[in-house]
């Protein structure tokens, strides 16, 4: 029974991963992660068996498990940094401007991620009523309006007193462009972005990487984290974000 348990676990990981990948549920990345874990587990079993009969197999096994350990330790370290950054409370710090980063829109309806950012922005803007606000996000596939416009509609006040400070940035397609185009808008308004402190509203899991990208563009930012409403989506995005941080560190130079 014990000998069969690893194979049962591999089969369970594989079936769960396939289900998450195939069925639309917002957790496709976790599905691929499950499939990858099943593949690594299966490969580990093969390497162990090979090592029992071959000196070369033993060497390869050591290399495999050393690499796996280093990878897991690195992943854990990145996750710890992401979690730490996403738990910051900077609501009372003085700022010169606010940038709200966009997220997906389903037709004209904000996604769960975008709704959480809108709610966090609304709360934050009540505390900081006199600073300009850039709503940043273009229009992508499946979106009838831009992400910036979706946020504007949600934040628009009937009396109009707060509306003048809402600036729409509707060209960006990624976080780097969010900051680049928002920076240009704020500079057009006369803000010295080289000296200004800018509050960035985004999801808690995204704060660490957003801060990395903003710093590369010469912006001094503080985080305003927004929590997703469902824990399983949060877990999915936190896992995905660790790999996105690695990609941003190695390949995204802008």
Express each pLDDT in 174-193 by its tens digit: 999 999 999 999 999 999 99
Residue position matching structure tokens 């628009």: 156
pLDDT of residue 147: 96
Pick the residue with more confidence: 80 or 21?
A: 80
Q: Are strands 109-110 and 105-106 parallel, antiparallel or unpaired?
A: antiparallel
**In the predicted structure, residue 254 carries a pLDDT above the cut 60:** no
Model confidence band, residue 27 (pLDDT cutoffs 50, 70, 90): confident
CB atoms within 10 A of CB 136: 31
pLDDT (mean) for 55-66: 92
pLDDT (mean) for 55-68: 92
Contact 136, 169 (CB under 8 A): yes
pLDDT (mean) for 3-9: 82
Contact 37, 30 (CB under 8 A): no
State the Cα–Cα distance between residues 227 and 105, nearest whole angstrom: 17
pLDDT of residue 130: 87
State the Cα–Cα distance between residues 102 and 105, nearest whole angstrom: 9
pLDDT of residue 20: 85
Contact 51, 73 (CB under 8 A): no
Contact 96, 196 (CB under 8 A): yes
State the Cα–Cα distance between residues 176 and 186, nearest whole angstrom: 16
Rg (CA), the chain: 22
Contact 199, 136 (CB under 8 A): no
State the Cα–Cα distance between residues 141 and 222, nearest whole angstrom: 30
- Predicted TM-score (pTM) of the model is 0.85
CB atoms within 10 A of CB 178: 29
Q: What are the strands, taking DSSP E only, across the chain?
A: 97-101, 105-106, 109-110, 133-136, 166-169, 197-203, 220-226
Mean of all residue pLDDT scores within the chain: 90
């Amino acid at each position: 029974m014990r000998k069969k348990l690893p194979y049962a676990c591999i089969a369970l990981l594989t079936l769960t991963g396939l289900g998450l990948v195939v069925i639309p549920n917002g957790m496709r990345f976790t599905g691929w992660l499950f499939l990858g874990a099943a593949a690594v587990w299966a490969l580990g079993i093969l390497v162990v068996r090979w090592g029992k009969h071959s000196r070369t197999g033993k060497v390869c096994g050591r290399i495999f498990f050393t690499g796996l350990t280093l990878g897991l330790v690195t992943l854990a370290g990145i996750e710890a940094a992401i979690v730490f950054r996403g738990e910051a409370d900077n609501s009372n710090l003085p700022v010169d401007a606010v940038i709200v980063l966009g997220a997906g829109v389903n037709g004209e309806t904000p996604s769960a991620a975008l709704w959480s950012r809108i709610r966090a922005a609304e709360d934050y803007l009540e505390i900081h009523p006199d600073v300009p606000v850039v709503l940043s996000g273009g229009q992508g596939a499946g979106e009838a309006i831009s992400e910036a416009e979706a946020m504007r509609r949600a934040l628009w006040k009937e009396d109009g007193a707060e509306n003048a400070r809402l600036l729409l940035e509707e060209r960006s397609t990624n976080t780097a462009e969010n900051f680049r185009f928002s920076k240009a808008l704020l500079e057009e308004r006369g803000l010295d972005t080289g000296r200004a402190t800018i509050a960035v509203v985004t999801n808690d899991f995204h704060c660490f990487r957003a801060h990395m990208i903003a710093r590369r563009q010469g912006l001094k930012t503080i985080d305003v984290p927004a929590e997703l409403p469902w824990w399983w989506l949060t877990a999915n995005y936190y896992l995905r974000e660790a790999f996105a941080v690695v990609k941003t560190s190695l390949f995204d130079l802008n």
